Each structure stands twice: as C-alpha cells, then as structure tokens.
Structure 1
Amino acid sequence: MTRIPGADGVGDVPPRIPSQSAAESGPHRTELEAGLSDELASVVSAARRRALRDGDRQIDTAHLLHSLLESDQGVRAVFDGAPQVARLLGYLVQRSIGYGLRWQSAVEDSGAVPVVVEAGWSPVAAGAMEGACARAGLRGEARARCLDLLAAIVADPQARAVEVLRRAGADARVLLPRIESALRNECADECADECAGEQADGSAGRSAGGYRTVRGAESSR
C-alpha cells in the first residue's frame, strides 16, 4: 500500500479509503457493551463522543487511549508518572488541529479494508475491543476492564495509539508487562475484598442466629 509521509512526524498515513459501517467495522454496539465493565463502557462512550465532535468517521485506538487516560487511574498508573501522562494527553489533544486531520481521510487498519458506507469502528479498534473481552474471558470474568483494553491496544504495533505512545516516549513493549501485573493486582484486591465481605456477612448471620436461639431458650423458661 502506498503511504504518505507525515509532515509532523506522527507515522505514515495510508491514502484515502472509503468509510466503514458500524456493523462491518466492529461489533454491534449492544453486543459490545454487554461485555464491558461499567468503567470501560463509560470510556467507550467518551471515545465515541470525541470521534463525533472531531468529525472523525470512526472510533480508533487513539480515541480509546485518550479516553482511557482521562478516565481511569489504574491506566495512568502504568505510565512513567504524571509528566509522561501529561505529555501523552497534550499530544492527543492536538489531534483535532494537527496530525489527526490527515487521519480523517484514512482507515486505521493493518490489512485490506472492505468498502462500506457508515462511520463506526476502525478495524484495529474493533480488534482491540474484542481482544479486551477475550482477555477478561481467560480470567473467567464476564466483563472486560479498562486495563484489558489498554493491553489489547498496546499489543498491536499497527495501532495509531502505539504511534502516539512512541512519539511521547512511552514504549509499548515496556507497558505491556506492567499492564498485566496491574491487572493481576487489581483482580487480587477485588477478590480479597469480596472474600472479606462474604466472611463478614457470614459472621453477622451466625451472630444473629445465635441471638435468636438464646432469646428462644429464655422465652421457653
């Protein structure tokens, strides 16, 4: 595929390609959001609003990364401190007035793209969403987390988000093991909290049962 050099240094962008429909460029919205945590569903909604506001025909991985960084503390924690996060956000904000203008006439894709008619998801973003849900499924969870999506995004070297990360000095190869570790810790903490809650409920139930038994014995005297 012929590629057009980027004047501002943010990678190369493929030539104009017809837009895609939501149905063909990614999973159906209802089916997609059923597999997301509440936090990740909010991130996706914010990315969708940003794409519409900026006049982009598709939600791509840069939109998703922008919303993840703005919305989730766990996502921000895997980067090298507040300065790097601020640098990334500053760079992402420039999209609507700089390098992102060239992206409006191209599709974020790593291969051949079918010709369709409506705006929806870029192929790479759709793949990242599906990858996030698959990661959650491997842990036995029904819903993907924000860190699942970040992991799926940085694992794809063709993602626009990975270009942005690289230009901002964030190495996707370094980020991925950090994300995996953060996910394990997040899940372990939640499991510990749930177990503690169940134990507390059980203790309260046993105490209430013992109280009723004592009261019943006193009444029968």
Structure 2
Amino acid sequence: MQHRIPQQRTAGRGPADTDGEAHLSAALTAVVAGARRRALRDGDPQIDTAHLLHALLESDPEVRAVFASDPQVVRLLGYLVQRSIGYGLRWQSSVEDSGALPATTGDGWSPVATAAMAAANERAALRGDRFADGTDLLAGLVARTGSRAAEVLERAGVGVPELLERLDGATERDLEA
C-alpha cells in the first residue's frame, strides 16, 4: 500500500534535502512524525500547519509554556481535536493554501508548512544552533498569516502578533546570552 503522504525522505529527495527535516532536533523530528501520522489518519493529502501545531502542543512542554495560560492551550487542543474528528474547522481532505504560494509541492507537505519549517531552520541558524526546536517551529507557524495554524490560534483567542513578539523576544534573549 502506498501512502498519500510520503514517509521520511532519503537524502537527495523531498524536504530533507531542502532544509525541511534535515535540521530538526530529535524532539522536533518526533513532532513531524506525529504530524505525518495525524495527516494520514485524518485523510488529508498533505501535512499542514495545523497538523504541526497539534503535534507541537501535544509533545513539547516548551511550546506549551509560551502561551499565556493553560486554558489557552486547552482551547487550542480542543479546536485541533474537533478538526481531526470532522467537526469545527472544515479542512479535511483539502490542501492548505495561503494564496501566496502554489497549492501543492508534491513532497507531502503543504507549501505553507514547508515555509514554516524553513523559517524554523532560519531561526535556529540565527541563534547559532544546527537544529531547529519546537519554539522555532511555533514561530514559523505563527508568522504564516492566513495559515491553518494561525486560524486555529486566532479562533482560540490567542493574540498572534503578541505571541510572535514573545517568541521573537525569547530569541533575542538567546542571542544576547
């Protein structure tokens, strides 16, 4: 059986060769694997930013700590769970499209998720780290206005500009240290 969302790519193909999965910490590699499983289970054609946000919130305590409160995280997870069981936000079996990027990449990732992953890698490089972590990816997701992750954040009452400021402030503190 061939999966609609490709498994981890080998060198020379797919996101690992285009700064996608090649520069991820072990924890973030597990997040990507969780997002891939979620997309397959949901019947979605690509890993999108909401899959990545859901996997981050479930598995990364540093990401959860960035939010203003535990109830905010619970609301976020509630929206994401509703989406995965077919209620609430209706994205199932469609491709995430920001309108600014092509609708498909052919590599199992939405173009918006690919851009968020590239942004995560850039943040890690600015810090002097070889591997992106969960907060790097969260910042990449938050910065993609119009993405599914940004829509979920907004519906859950998260101030996206304020969240991005908190994440950018943390990066600036890391650079100064």
Provide TM-score, normalisation by structure 1: 0.67
- Radius of gyration: which is bigger? 1
- How many angstroms apart in 2 are the aligned matches of 1:139 and 1:99? 38
Aligned to 1:108: 97
* Residues 1:156 and 1:112: Cα distance change in structure 2 (over 3 Å): closer
CA contact (8 A) 2:83 2:91 kept: no
- How many angstroms apart in 1 are the aligned matches of 2:104 and 2:148? 21
- The answer to whether 1:136 aligns with 2:124 is yes
Aligned to 2:115: 127
- The answer to whether 1:91 aligns with 2:92 is no
Runs of 4+ in structure 1 off by over 6 angstroms are 19-23
- How many angstroms apart in 2 are the aligned matches of 1:47 and 1:82? 22
- How many angstroms apart in 2 are the aligned matches of 1:140 and 1:85? 29
* Residues 1:73 and 1:184: Cα distance change in structure 2 (over 3 Å): farther
Unaligned 5+ segments in structure 1 are 1-18, 192-221
Residues 29-66 of structure 1 show CA distances to partners (whole Å, capped at 9, x for unaligned) of: 43332201111111111000000011111000000000
Question: Root-mean-square deviation (CA), in Å?
Answer: 2.7
Q: Secondary structure at the match of 1:141?
A: coil
* Residues 1:166 and 1:119: Cα distance change in structure 2 (over 3 Å): same
Aligned to 1:38: 26
- How many angstroms apart in 2 are the aligned matches of 1:84 and 1:181? 20
- How many angstroms apart in 2 are the aligned matches of 1:115 and 1:80? 34
| Aligned-pair identity (%) | 50
Deviation, structure 1 residue 142: 1.1
* Residues 1:70 and 1:41: Cα distance change in structure 2 (over 3 Å): same
Aligned positions of 1:5-44 closer than 5 A: 28-31=14-17, 32-44=20-32
- How many angstroms apart in 2 are the aligned matches of 1:20 and 1:165? 25
Out of 177, 188, 192, the position equivalent to 2:165 is 177
Unaligned 5+ segments in structure 2 are none
